[in-house]
């Protein structure tokens, strides 16, 4: 009997294990509540948050969920199978048996809202505001009165020659090297991701050279670039003025992700691709292939087409989720 026949012979045994695994009730001693699923409007300084804004939910300072917007001014949706910001507390978060607050962050700002955690689908509008910087303006300025001194003696001689007038030098350009600086409207989002770069370099630069990390370049001052492939991209900007050139590199400045993937039912970790072949085989997100992934796939075969990109879980690449995909996933163990 070859290895393939052996694995095919395990299928009946596998189905029996699947039946008992989905019907067996395992007692749980630790209290971990069901997750909360948030959606609503999101504004930053009174404006709709742009596409690609990443919202991070924290409990007791620890990250318990995150969501990247795919439409301006909103995150998630109310319909049953729409993606939402899933917040899952841990046993340590609930150990105090007291109400726990959820804090939301985006673009380095903390949301004005910090609701108490409760399980279920929640409509929660989020507003983020940049703290005002106080300024002090003097109410009055000191006034000085110039004093004049009148000479007590009058010169008796008058110079016969006019003093030489030295020519004033022409103004010279800045003698400082340029200092490169830039910012972007978004730093993360799903492919294809459009990023507007804005130059803030000082000391009168007149030439710009951008490297976007994906093999593309630009010599515009404020270029617009589109990232088509998921990945982390480092940005390099070289600016030049009359004195010289200076280069700055920001490692992994732009993060481009696959279309939104959400945790499977009953899970709070996102699925993973253990061998980077574009097929997600770690369904429970624990970093490895195991029998729990087989059970999770079997229980979610009808759920996947309505909630996940099918191409990421279509292991035989026939355009649909079917039992052959389950067999291929089993062969990967």
Would you state the pLDDT for residue 75? 93
Would you state the pLDDT for residue 49? 92
- This prediction has a pTM of 0.35
Contacts of 113 (CB under 8 A, 6+ apart): 104, 124, 125, 126, 127
Would you state the pLDDT for residue 268? 85
Would you state the pLDDT for residue 7? 62
Would you state the pLDDT for residue 18? 67
Would you state the pLDDT for residue 28? 46
Q: For 40-82, how does the pLDDT look when each residue is reduced to its tens digit (9 = 90+)?
A: 999 999 999 999 999 999 999 999 999 999 989 999 987 777 8
Would you state the pLDDT for residue 25? 47
Q: Which residues of the chain fall short of a pLDDT of 70?
A: 1-13, 17-30, 132-174, 259
**Dihedral sign, Cα of residue 143, residue 149, residue 150, residue 154:** negative
The architecture of the domain spanning 36-128 is Sandwich (2.60)
Would you state the pLDDT for residue 200? 94
Q: Does domain 182-257 have CATH number 3.40.220.10?
A: no
Would you state the pLDDT for residue 153? 53
Would you state the pLDDT for residue 12? 67
**Dihedral sign, Cα of residue 52, residue 57, residue 61, residue 63:** negative
The residues of the chain that CATH labels 2.60.40.10 are 182-257
**CA gyration radius, the chain:** 32
Would you state the pLDDT for residue 86? 94
Would you state the pLDDT for residue 35? 93
Cβ-count burial 94-119 (b if 16+ within 10 Å, e if not):
beeeeebebbbbbeeeebeeeeebee
Q: How many Å separate Cα 238 from the centre of its chain?
A: 25
Would you state the pLDDT for residue 273? 86
């Amino acid at each position: 009997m070859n290895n393939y026949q052996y694995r095919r012979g395990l299928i009946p045994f596998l189905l029996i294990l699947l039946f008992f695994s989905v019907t067996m009730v395992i007692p749980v001693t630790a209290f971990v509540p069901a997750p909360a699923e948030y959606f609503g409007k999101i504004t930053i300084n009174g404006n709709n948050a742009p596409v690609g804004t990443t919202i991070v939910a924290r409990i007791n300072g620890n990250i318990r969920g995150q969501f990247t917007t795919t439409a301006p001014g909103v995150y998630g949706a109310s319909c049953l199978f729409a993606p939402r910001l899933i917040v899952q507390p841990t046993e340590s978060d609930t150990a105090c048996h007291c109400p726990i607050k959820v804090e939301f962050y985006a673009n380095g700002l903390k949301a004005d809202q910090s609701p108490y955690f409760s399980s279920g689908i929640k409509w929660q509008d989020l507003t983020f505001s940049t703290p005002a910087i106080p300024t002090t303006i003097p109410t009055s300025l000191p006034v000085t009165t110039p004093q004049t001194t009148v000479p007590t003696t009058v010169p008796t001689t008058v110079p016969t020659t006019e003093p030489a007038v030295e020519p004033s030098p022409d103004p010279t350009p800045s003698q400082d090297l340029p200092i490169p600086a830039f910012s972007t409207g978004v730093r993360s989002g799903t492919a294809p991701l459009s990023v507007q770069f804005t130059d803030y370099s000082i000391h009168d630069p007149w030439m710009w050279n951008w490297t976007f990390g994906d093999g593309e370049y630009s010599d515009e001052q404020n270029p617009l670039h589109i990232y088509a492939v998921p990945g982390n991209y480092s940005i390099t900007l070289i600016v030049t003025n009359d004195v010289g050139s200076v280069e700055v590199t920001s490692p992994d400045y732009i993060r481009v992700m696959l279309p939104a993937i959400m945790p499977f039912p009953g899970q709070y970790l996102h699925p993973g691709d253990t061998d980077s072949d574009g097929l997600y085989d770690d369904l429970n997100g624990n970093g490895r292939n195991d029998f729990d992934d087989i059970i999770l796939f079997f229980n979610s075969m009808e759920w996947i087409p309505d909630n996940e990109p099918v191409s990421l879980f279509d292991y035989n690449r026939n355009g649909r989720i079917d039992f052959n995909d389950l067999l291929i996933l089993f062969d990967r163990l």
